[in-house]
Structure 1
Amino acid sequence: MSNDKQLTAEDLEFLGRPLYGFLTVAGGPQPSQPRPVWFEATADGKIQLTTEPDALKVRRLRRDPRATFVVASPVGEREHWVSVAGSTTIDSEGAQELTARMAGRYWDLNDQARADQLAQMLTIDNLRVVIHPESVRRLAI
C-alpha cells in the first residue's frame, strides 16, 4: 500500500474504467454513510461527480467540504483499490456535460430506456462536486 498527494498515471488508468466509486462526506450527527456514485477522474488528477442540488451530501459539504472517495476492482479480479481524501468544491458549471459523459460511460445509450432516463436527468440543474486530493492511498496486487 502506498500513500501520495496525487493520482498517478496508473491510478488514472484504473479510475478510467466504468466502476462505481463510494463517496463519504464529513459532517452530521450520524456516522458517515458512503454512497455509490458515478465519477470521472480528470487528467489533472481530480475526481468529479454530479448530484442533485438538494442532496444531503451537498448540505453537508457546504458545512464541511471534506470528503473521501474509494474505488475497488470487482470480485474475480486481483485486489486493486484507490482511495482519495481531500476538500471539495461545488458548482454548476459543467455539470450537465459531465452527467452526459458519465451516462455514456456507464450505460448503453443506444438503449432507448437509458437514453430517455438520461434526458430526464438532464432536466435537473445538477451540481458538479470536485474532490481535490490531499491524500491518495492505493493497493494493487
Structure 2
Amino acid sequence: MSTSTALTAEDVEFLGRPLLGLLTVAGAAEPPQPRPVWFEAAADGTIALFTLRGSPKLRHLERDPRASLVVAAPVGERERWVAVAGRTTLHDDGVDELVTRLAGRYWDPVDRAGDLAGMLAGDNVRVQLHPEKVSRFSF
C-alpha cells in the first residue's frame, strides 16, 4: 500500500473506468453508511460526483465537509483499490453536464433517455472531493 496527498497518473487511469465508488461522509449515523456513487476524476485533481439536494449525504456534507471515496477493481481482476479522503465543496454550476457525462460513462444514454431526463429533472448538486490523503493498493 502507498499513500500520497494527490492522485497519480495511474490512479486517474484506474478511476477513469466505469467503476462504482463507495462514498462515506463524516457526521453520518454510527457506524458510517457508505453509498455507491458514480464519479469522475476531474482534470484539476479532484473527484466529481453529484447528489440530490436534500439527500442525507448532502445534509451531512453541509454540516461537515469531510468525505472519503473508495473504488475497487471488480471480481475477476487483480486486486486493486484507490481510497481518496478530503474535504468537499458543493456547487450548483456544471451539475447537468456532469450528470450527462456520467450517464454516458455508466450506461447508454440513448437507450435510457427517459432515465437520463428524470435524473436531469432532479435538483442535483455537484460535489467536488478535494484529496488530502490518497491510499492505493494493487496485488
TM-score for the superposition, normalised by structure 2: 0.97
**Partner in structure 1 of residue 28 of structure 2:** 28
**Partner in structure 1 of residue 138 of structure 2:** 140
1:52-71 alpha-carbon deviations (Å, 9 max, x no partner): 00100111011110001000
Name the stretch that deviates more: 7-16 or 29-38.
29-38
| Letter in structure 2 aligned against 1:127 | V
Name the stretch that deviates more: 37-46 or 94-103.
37-46
1:62-115 alpha-carbon deviations (Å, 9 max, x no partner): 11100010000000000010000000001111111000000000001231xx11
**Partner in structure 2 of residue 129 of structure 1:** 127
Distance (Å, rounded) in 1 between the aligned partners of 2:137 and 2:29: 31
Give 5+ residue unaligned stretches, structure 1.
none
Give 5+ residue unaligned stretches, structure 2.
none
Distance (Å, rounded) in 2 between the aligned partners of 1:139 and 1:28: 26
Q: Structure 2 matches for 1:1-141, cutoff 5 A? A: 1-111=1-111, 114-141=112-139
1:16-75 alpha-carbon deviations (Å, 9 max, x no partner): 000000000000342110000000111221101010001001110111100010000000
Structure 1 51/29 Cα, relative in aligned 2: closer, same or farther at 3 Å? closer
TM-score for the superposition, normalised by structure 1: 0.96
CA contact (8 A) 1:22 1:69 kept: yes
After superposition, the CA RMSD in angstroms is 0.9
2:114 is paired with a residue whose SS is: helix
Percent same amino acid among aligned pairs? Answer: 62
| Letter in structure 2 aligned against 1:74 | P
Task: State the 4+ residue runs in structure 1 displaced beyond 3 angstroms.
Answer: none
1:84 is paired with a residue whose SS is: strand
Offset at 1:140?
1.5
